[in-house]
Structure 1
Amino acid sequence: MSSDRNSPPFPTKEAVLDFIQQSPVAVGKREIARAFNLRGNDKIPLKQLLKELKNEGHFGREARQKKNNLDGRLPPVQVIEITHIDSDGELIAVPASWEEEQPAPMIYVLPERKSKFDLVIGDRVLAKLKRLDNKSYQGIPIRKLEAAQLKILGIYQITEEGGFVKPVDKKAKKDFILNPEYAKEAKQGELVLCEIRKGRSRKGLKEVRVIETLGAINSPRALSLVAIHERGIPNTFPEEALEEAEDAKKTELGKRTDLRDLPLVTIDGADARDFDDAVWAQPDPDNDGGWHIMVAIADVAHYVRSGSPLDNEAQTRGNSTYFADRVVPMLPEKLSNGWCSLKPNEDRPCLVAEMWVDADGELVKHKFIRGLMRSQARLTYEQVQDALNGSPDATTAELLDSVLKPLKGAYDAMLKARYKRGTLELDIPEFQVKMDEQGEVTDIVKRDRLDSHKLIEEFMIMANVAAAIELESRQLPCMYRVHEAPDPVKIEGLADSLHGMGIKFAKGQVIRPKVLTQVLERISDLPQAKLVNELILRAQSQARYDPTNQGHFGLALSRYAHFTSPIRRYSDLMVHRALIRGLKLGDDGLTSGEETKFNDIAEHISATERRSSAAERDTINRFTASFLSHKIGTIFPGKINGVHRAGLFITLDETGADGLVPMSQLPDDYYIHDEKNHTLTGRRWGREFHLGEKVMVRIMESNPISGGVALRIVEGDDDGELVPPKRDKKRGRGNHTRRKSGGKKPGTSPNRSRKK
């Protein structure tokens, strides 16, 4: 054995055996040595130990059928997975591979040195276990393990060589073998969720077994399932959480403030199913030109108690995820669409930000109350906009003077404050997927951006600011929504891009939101306006959650927190609990254990938000590709939004779809890539492609599974065939990039026919 005093203790047979059995893939001596940090001479006794285990019958077909916990106890070393944080702030884990019928034992994770591990929900850890009682253990982490691919999502294909699963993940380089006995009832071409069989491989390919069949891959509704499984978004609730939600019941008035006679209304999209905010305003008689405002938010903390099964699952999910055809909610439907939804004419508990603003929209004072409300109406953005434009319907006509006009008056005042502080006013179009009852995509359209949208947005921002001020002033823990100033390197790259389009932007200046907004105002009428908005967006830092206040650059606010959507964001629930505790509004506020884990929770919910955003973006791309797959050969207008050595990236005007025109599909020439000025210039014919240029493109391919769209620029004749422009004597400098031309030299047959 190694005599190095700093080397870890040599593992026991039980520890090594458990590591092998818990591994989702085949492991050898090298992987075991790495896992237990064994070096040099330690590998000699490891080899002997493995030999003994094999002789004892622990390896082989029969051994694989054995359970890890023969006497009901877990082994002294086990791979565990962090599942949640309890009300005392303890990290809770379970065995990583638990296949027993009874519930998994609870493992309280206690790192030996807190600075050694930065563990969050979902992490897998090799840990020493100490039994506390029949149902719980104490776990001390030995090593944090890299996330292993345990499941794959793919398409079942039956060939002459047998069954295979082709992963939908574009990064996957190999298929998986699926033998008939492990295919369940899956059929050719169906989408299947599979588990990788431990240690099984053939012909260099891993074997899998079907866990769930998700239906025909050509079904549009399968596209969101791809994103759900590909991104690892939990979409089934534990039985304990569902039971807790079912036990929820109507809230009585008790010590709450009775707001049921106040004409609060909800204003949401026509397709919204949960309503977590309601608004009201009236002129402030004590402040000339000022306004008295209330923003009432569903009191989720009343139903979701810290450390409960509902809370554990909500924290794990971090947020709801929204797709065109479904929602993966943070809370079970019984709550998200039931007791926590501010339905009209039904009593609902709420937490209210009561605020007063002056004539210039500045927040003068505020307070928070816990109340019981009854929404007077469920309104849509379109209804409210029509009413404010002079065309009310039967519902809004009765509310126009008493409710809607005061809301508009308060909004107009708050706009003054917004303009004064100089927020970043990006104009990024949002596209909506239209579907029929069968789930077929019928159209991709731009969402209207109405004043009624902006009205609700401004009310929510004001309430979020008030929550941050309240918690900060009382020195209470706050889950801030942080958006830092852009990285100077990104700003320099933005300046280069703008310069390449002939737009002035001084380098080295102090960047404030107002500076970027002024650029957008200057070019608002130019063809490049949309692209410049996107370039400025790309230059921004990514917003995140953090218990340390670092301000919000985009909104030009010194402090900001999310308070207004606890149904769909765990961050907001944390803010509610902090307010409840700090203002002594009940016994269901923030616990001391939660407070100690604010950093961990912030990191986790920032990650789940990014995960959901990626899944939503992927699905929009897939639905759009599905829509365009029926339009192969059709020509659409678009703009060049990226110039690379690989080709041109184009965004289609009508659908917002992004597609690639490969270098091989550009007019035959030898292209010079100018990275600084974002151009491709043909050395022979002089055709220049530049960032922001309007182009016409033909849809060549559109893959709904990957979301990829292949395009080809068309210009010249009536059929859209590529005709090289007249020779231009200008020459560019930069990286020479040859368009593939079947081996022919640039000077041969520039007008030859193209592949269709």
Structure 2
Amino acid sequence: MAERKPGRGAPKKPAAGKRKTGGGVPSREEILAFLADNPGKTSKREIGRAFNVKGDDRIPLKQLLKAMTEEGIIARDEAKNLRRTDELPPVTVVEITHTDTDGELIARPVSWPGEEQPPLIVIAPDTSRRKRDYDEPPAGVGDRVLARLEKVEDEDEAYPYEARVIRRVGKGAERILGLYRKNPKGKGGRLVPVEKKARNEYEIAPDDVNGAEDGNLVLGETIPGKRYGLSRARIREIFGDSEDPRSISLIAIHTHGIPDEFPAEVIAEAEAAKHHGLKGRTDLRDIPLITIDPADARDHDDAVWAAPDDDPKNEGGVIAIVAIADVAAYVKPGSQMDREARKRGNSTYFPDRVVPMLPERISNDLCSLVEDKDRACFAVRMVFDKNGNKRSHEFIRGLMRSAASLSYKQVQEAIDGRPDDAAGPLLDPVLKPLWAAYRIILKAREARAPLDLDLPEYKIDIGPDGRISGVRIGDKFESMKLIEEFMIQANVCAAETAEAQHRKVIYRIHDAPSREKLVAFAEFLATLNLSFTKGENIRPANFNRILKEVDGTEHDRMVSDVVLRSQAQAIYSPDNIGHFGLNLRRYAHFTSPIRRYADLTVHRALIAGLGLGKDGQTDNELAELAEIAEHISATERRSMVAERDSKDRFIAAFLEARIGAEFTGRISGVTRFGLFVKLDDTGADGFIPVSTLGRDFFHHDEIIHALVGERTRHAYRLGDIVRVRLAEAVPVTGGLRFELLEGGGEAPPNAGKGAGSRSRAPSGRGGPARGKYGKSSRKTPRGKRR
């Protein structure tokens, strides 16, 4: 018979020098050492047998083990096996809490009696399972699983335990970001979620408050509790006073799960990076490349230069160079920084802070094209003819030195004849040739006719105290369009070169609107006596014609909004279908590798394809491009939502002191539940419940984007100008509620008849909606009434 391995069957005997060879009761140290050597099935009987405890010594041993259990030194499981409390049992339930920088699933024990932090557990991949159609998906973050644990003996390993999943046993505790509200007449309190859609509060027992004070912004964790009444939660982390303006962005960061702290190993790798010199690079330092950015920009990752082409075969043509920070030279594939950048996907921008994709040492130093400093760059030299058509281009890994860091406003005022001391010396040698090249390239853009939407963007100004000092429509300078067009041309060159080199790359793609959206858009325009083709060969020019036709009319904003909503979402993909909005066949992001991981992958593909270094695209990255594209498309959407939520909360905090004030705005959304309104001066978005619109039944007409009164025939349409009063502002959720004072107009013929759903407003404003039988009215499906 084969000998059983200790720990798998028979327990190990006490090590030499520890074993009681002559019988008697072992010491506490000997028992703990024996339990450490024998994780698993270790009963009192096996301990007695191992230490040769016999006769009258059995009772003292039993008393000693009982005392050690009561003192918490050892613990007993359901099978009456003993173990040290500073170690985990061989089979236990763990909760998968997160992934590390290597993408490994990390867990912690659900039950841990020790006073120190519980040990971290790495989940081993299950290579033994055969994949079947009926197999449940693998466990992931948030799951609780029954797992078999093995202690890792190597002290250099980051995790002391490795686990193999036996089966999933349910979801783990839910994390809730919210406000702690202390019970006014007792101990403990409640957790009020910050999510707008959250309906429930959570009870916090006194033992679960963990030092939180009334009004603190906290991270809570649900715990099993009573079947009826409020759900229970415990407070895990305290972020500070919810009235602190810095908490606003924290809410968005934690609500959307945006990583905002770099692991120590990532910071260490960034700090160890060194500046790249001229070796192996083209010297571009004599070319007066300049950066043009917003006035408050902290980093500068693109620079431009242009001049007339002196080639007699290209009379009237121009040469332009776009130089981009060479992030690939510092962030190597598979490195700690690379894995973290890939996880984040992109930088996220809030009114008061930036959550960067890369550490500050990279984004604000080594890869920031600061004025009068040598910086490694990846540049593209482009040649255009007199009509703005690109004749050729060439990619260069170089070393540049920025001649100036200017703002959009500085450049615009210089071109308009009001140069300041920084821009003045550059006006004739740099800015005017750059502007002339832009005018030439603009000819080709106009011939290409990309989608021409011009919607206002709102800027939130933050004061020195971190509080919002104002909201305004953002500046619009033609110098912004100059940089935008140069960047677009560089991105096109990147996509074309990758294709020419047969390198697989992540494209920025934008599909044409769906057939359903085109039909809905045409039906909407018909209510305005405008026609729109729904043919197969739809182009941005078709939308531009409509936008031009309504420009300056009362319908211009409404039509612009509907055009925007009819468009597909731009995403990243290794499969190129072109970019509908820009009307380009090939397009790949190249110009912002500091803040977008997509651009970094494109840089690496070009480096490999053109043989410009050993830090290009690897086989592993090539094989994972589809997965990377899907992931960074998701992180981009996550950042967009987080940025929008943060702006809503800042604006709600700004308007909280103006409850009762009147504003002018436009209806920006129409649902069967009510109207969304965007204020003209701040861009604030608020809601008017249908229950406050007056004594009438309202039909939601989806074709004309309106609520239409059944009796009065009064309609509230998308884009209508309205006058409203601010009734409520909730900074922690970003919610605003308005009361309608005036606005809307006569409904078009047949509008609202038999379309959408039917809702009734109350007899008077501000109260709950009442149906004709005195009950709260309900939204009913099309064609049905209750």
TM over 0.5: yes
Give the whole-Å Cα distance in 1 for the aligned partners of 2:83 and 2:719.
60
Identity value in percent: 45
Cα deviation code 1:208-244 (max 9, x no counterpart): 3333322221222211111101000011110100111
Report the residue type matching 2:202 in the other structure. F
Q: Match of 1:175?
A: 201
Aligned pair in 2 of structure 1 residues 103, 670: CA closer, same or farther (>3 Å)? closer
Give the whole-Å Cα distance in 2 for the aligned partners of 1:219 and 1:642.
31
Q: Are 2:412 and 1:385 aligned?
A: yes
Instruction: Tell me if structure 1 keeps the 8 A contact 2:180–2:189.
Output: yes
Cα deviation code 1:302-348 (max 9, x no counterpart): 11111111111111111100000011111111211111111111111
Q: Are 2:616 and 1:616 aligned?
A: no
Select 1:156's aligned residue among 180, 183, 186.
180
Q: Are 2:475 and 1:453 aligned?
A: no
Q: Match of 2:762?
A: 740
SS at match of 1:212: strand
Aligned pair in 2 of structure 1 residues 678, 398: CA closer, same or farther (>3 Å)? same
Aligned pair in 2 of structure 1 residues 377, 619: CA closer, same or farther (>3 Å)? same
Tell me the TM-score normalized by structure 2. 0.79
Q: Are 2:237 and 1:217 aligned?
A: no
Report the residue type matching 2:274 in the other structure. K
Report the residue type matching 1:271 in the other structure. D
Report the residue type matching 1:325 in the other structure. D
Give the whole-Å Cα distance in 1 for the aligned partners of 2:316 and 2:602.
31
Q: Match of 1:6?
A: none
Q: Are 2:246 and 1:246 aligned?
A: no
Matching of residues 116-515 of structure 1 within 5 Å: 134=154, 135=157, 150-159=174-183, 160=185, 162-197=188-223, 199=224, 204-286=229-311, 287-508=314-535, 510-515=537-542
SS at match of 2:423: helix
Aligned pair in 2 of structure 1 residues 529, 64: CA closer, same or farther (>3 Å)? farther
Instruction: Tell me if structure 1 keeps the 8 A contact 2:704–2:751.
Output: no
Give the whole-Å Cα distance in 1 for the aligned partners of 2:591 and 2:341.
16
Stretch deviating more after TM superposition (467-476 or 216-225): 216-225
Q: Match of 1:541?
A: 568
Give the whole-Å Cα distance in 2 for the aligned partners of 1:394 and 1:122.
55
Give the whole-Å Cα distance in 1 for the aligned partners of 2:290 and 2:423.
11
Instruction: Tell me if structure 1 keeps the 8 A contact 2:291–2:303.
Output: yes
Q: How far did residue 737 of structure 1 move?
A: 2.6
Give the whole-Å Cα distance in 2 for the aligned partners of 1:628 and 1:232.
27
Instruction: Tell me if structure 1 keeps the 8 A contact 2:291–2:302.
Output: yes
Give the whole-Å Cα distance in 1 for the aligned partners of 2:149 and 2:281.
46
Report the residue type matching 2:243 in the other structure. N
SS at match of 1:697: strand
Give the whole-Å Cα distance in 2 for the aligned partners of 1:119 and 1:359.
59
Aligned pair in 2 of structure 1 residues 663, 169: CA closer, same or farther (>3 Å)? same
Give the whole-Å Cα distance in 2 for the aligned partners of 1:596 and 1:129.
32
Give the whole-Å Cα distance in 2 for the aligned partners of 1:251 and 1:683.
71
Instruction: Tell me if structure 1 keeps the 8 A contact 2:694–2:762.
Output: no
Give the whole-Å Cα distance in 1 for the aligned partners of 2:96 and 2:338.
21
Aligned pair in 2 of structure 1 residues 243, 202: CA closer, same or farther (>3 Å)? farther
Instruction: Tell me if structure 2 keeps the 8 A contact 1:123–1:145.
Output: no
Report the residue type matching 1:733 in the other structure. K
Unaligned stretches of 5+ residues in structure 2: 1-74, 111-115, 775-786
Query: Rg: which structure is higher?
Result: 2
Aligned residues: 677
Give the whole-Å Cα distance in 2 for the aligned partners of 1:509 and 1:496.
17
Cα deviation code 1:6-47 (max 9, x no counterpart): xxxxxxxxxxxxxxxxxxxxxxxxxxxxxxxxxxxxxxxxxx
Cα deviation code 1:386-428 (max 9, x no counterpart): 0111111111111111111111111112111111122001112
Aligned pair in 2 of structure 1 residues 111, 206: CA closer, same or farther (>3 Å)? farther
SS at match of 1:394: coil
Aligned pair in 2 of structure 1 residues 245, 113: CA closer, same or farther (>3 Å)? farther
**Greater relative contact order structure (CA < 8 Å, 6+ sep):** 1
Aligned pair in 2 of structure 1 residues 147, 277: CA closer, same or farther (>3 Å)? farther
Aligned pair in 2 of structure 1 residues 179, 505: CA closer, same or farther (>3 Å)? same
Stretch deviating more after TM superposition (112-121 or 670-679): 112-121
Aligned pair in 2 of structure 1 residues 692, 470: CA closer, same or farther (>3 Å)? same
Give the whole-Å Cα distance in 1 for the aligned partners of 2:179 and 2:678.
29
Give the whole-Å Cα distance in 2 for the aligned partners of 1:587 and 1:730.
68
Aligned pair in 2 of structure 1 residues 221, 65: CA closer, same or farther (>3 Å)? farther
Report the residue type matching 1:151 in the other structure. R
Instruction: Tell me if structure 1 keeps the 8 A contact 2:715–2:747.
Output: no
Aligned pair in 2 of structure 1 residues 149, 608: CA closer, same or farther (>3 Å)? farther
Aligned pair in 2 of structure 1 residues 496, 345: CA closer, same or farther (>3 Å)? same
SS at match of 1:715: strand
Give the whole-Å Cα distance in 2 for the aligned partners of 1:146 and 1:196.
14
Give the whole-Å Cα distance in 2 for the aligned partners of 1:412 and 1:192.
53
Q: Match of 2:33?
A: none
Q: How far did residue 471 of structure 1 move?
A: 0.8
Instruction: Tell me if structure 1 keeps the 8 A contact 2:558–2:720.
Output: no
Give the whole-Å Cα distance in 1 for the aligned partners of 2:661 and 2:428.
50
Q: How far did residue 659 of structure 1 move?
A: 1.6
Q: Match of 2:70?
A: none
Give the whole-Å Cα distance in 2 for the aligned partners of 1:698 and 1:558.
48
Give the whole-Å Cα distance in 2 for the aligned partners of 1:395 and 1:571.
34
Give the whole-Å Cα distance in 1 for the aligned partners of 2:105 and 2:745.
66
Give the whole-Å Cα distance in 1 for the aligned partners of 2:661 and 2:520.
35
Instruction: Tell me if structure 2 keeps the 8 A contact 1:499–1:677.
Output: no
Aligned pair in 2 of structure 1 residues 471, 190: CA closer, same or farther (>3 Å)? same
Give the whole-Å Cα distance in 1 for the aligned partners of 2:720 and 2:162.
62
SS at match of 2:651: helix
Aligned pair in 2 of structure 1 residues 282, 727: CA closer, same or farther (>3 Å)? closer
Q: How far did residue 79 of structure 1 move?
A: 6.5
Q: Match of 1:46?
A: none
Give the whole-Å Cα distance in 2 for the aligned partners of 1:602 and 1:146.
30
Give the whole-Å Cα distance in 2 for the aligned partners of 1:513 and 1:454.
18
Instruction: Tell me if structure 1 keeps the 8 A contact 2:124–2:164.
Output: no
Report the residue type matching 1:276 in the other structure. D
Give the whole-Å Cα distance in 2 for the aligned partners of 1:295 and 1:246.
28
SS at match of 1:306: coil
Aligned pair in 2 of structure 1 residues 664, 130: CA closer, same or farther (>3 Å)? closer
Instruction: Tell me if structure 1 keeps the 8 A contact 2:591–2:599.
Output: yes
Q: How far did residue 641 of structure 1 move?
A: 2.6
Report the residue type matching 1:737 in the other structure. S
Give the whole-Å Cα distance in 2 for the aligned partners of 1:726 and 1:549.
47
Give the whole-Å Cα distance in 2 for the aligned partners of 1:545 and 1:728.
42
Aligned pair in 2 of structure 1 residues 726, 679: CA closer, same or farther (>3 Å)? closer
Aligned-pair Cα RMSD in Å: 3.6
Q: Are 2:106 and 1:94 aligned?
A: yes
